[in-house]
Each structure stands twice: as structure tokens, then as C-alpha cells.
Amino acid sequence: MEINKTFLDQLRQQKINKNVFEINQSDDEIDECNFEISNHNQNAQQAKDITRSDSPTFEDFEPKKSKDSALEVSKEPIAISAKSQIVLEIKPYSDEIDLSSLINHIFDSVKFAGLVWKKETKILPIAFGLKKLQVACVIEDDKVCIDDIVDKIMELEEVTVDIMSFFKI
């Protein structure tokens, strides 16, 4: 028991010693530092003498301001066009229609300004050998109407087109 008490006393003493800050005599040396501000101008002059005349200077990299190149700020608000992501489900009337060729035909013939087809398509089974096609696209709402896209696809083949999802981006 006595050994444990002395050991604990030693540990407590070590903790106390760690928390005590001792002042060194060498701290006075910090006050003896001499900052020579007057030599700064001499060093700058020596640095200018050393630089070559063909080397770029700081002034070369500063943007040059001229009255001709000043940008005029327009007070008109910038129009941000709203976009939508649409997933279309295309179902053929018969199982004789080749869906892989239909995909390529849709991508080639249905084109509008503001319409971007996603290349990821899915061919999913419905029933009795019939399959449906899921195609995704992104449209700009101001430029493209979804009804125009649906009508154009329905003109290509004998299919029905349903809108599976319609998300505003």
C-alpha cells in the first residue's frame, strides 16, 4: 500500500511540474534584435540593379486600364432559361417494330434547338413479347414544348408516347 501511495504522489508531482513555467535567462536576447528599417531602401536599390532589363517586372503583369477597353455594365437582368429533364416511355403497337433501330431513328430525326437527348436508353418487357422503350432528354422550357417532341415521335412509327417523369432542373 505504501508503494502505491508514493507512486501516486510522484505522478502528481510530475503533473504539477509540467504546469509550471520557468523563465529562462535567454529570453532577454529577443530584446536585443536590431531591426534596421533604413537598410530596406538600400536593399531595394541593390535588387533593382541586379535585375536584367529584359526580365519581366511586376508592372508587366498588372492589367492595363484603358478607357476603350472598359466594360459597360448593362442594367438589364440576365435571363436564365429554365430546364426540364423528361423521361419518355415509348410503347409500340406491335412486337414487330425493332426498338434499337427506333432509338437511332428518334435521335436522328427529332431535333430541336434546346433539346438534348440522353444516350442512356432502356428496353423493358411489358407482356406477351411486347417491349417498351424509355428515353430521357433535357429541354429548355423557353425553346421547346414537350408536345412537339411527342407529336414528332408519334409521326415516325406506330407508337404511343407517355411522359414517365418531368423534373424542373
Does domain 83-168 fall under CATH 3.30.70.60? My reply is yes
DSSP secondary-structure letter at 18? Answer: H
Per the model's pLDDT, the better-predicted residue between 84 and 3 turns out to be 84
* Dihedral (Cα; 44, 49, 50, 55), 10-degree rounding: 100
Whether 149 contacts 137, CB under 8 Å: yes
Query: CA 167 → CA 87, 105, 107, distances in Å?
Result: 9, 25, 21
Task: Please spell the DSSP secondary structure of 91-160, one letter per residue.
Answer: EESSTTS-HHHHHHHHHHH---TTEEEEEEEEEEE-STT-EEEEEEEEEETTT--HHHHHHHHHHHSSEE
Express each pLDDT in 15-46 by its tens digit. 665 555 454 445 555 555 555 555 555 655 65
How many angstroms separate the CA atoms of 110 and 135, rounded?
12
pTM exceeding the 0.75 threshold for the entire prediction = no
Whether the per-residue pLDDT at 146 is higher than 90: the answer is yes
Q: What percent of the chain has pLDDT over 90?
A: 41
Strand partners, 164: none
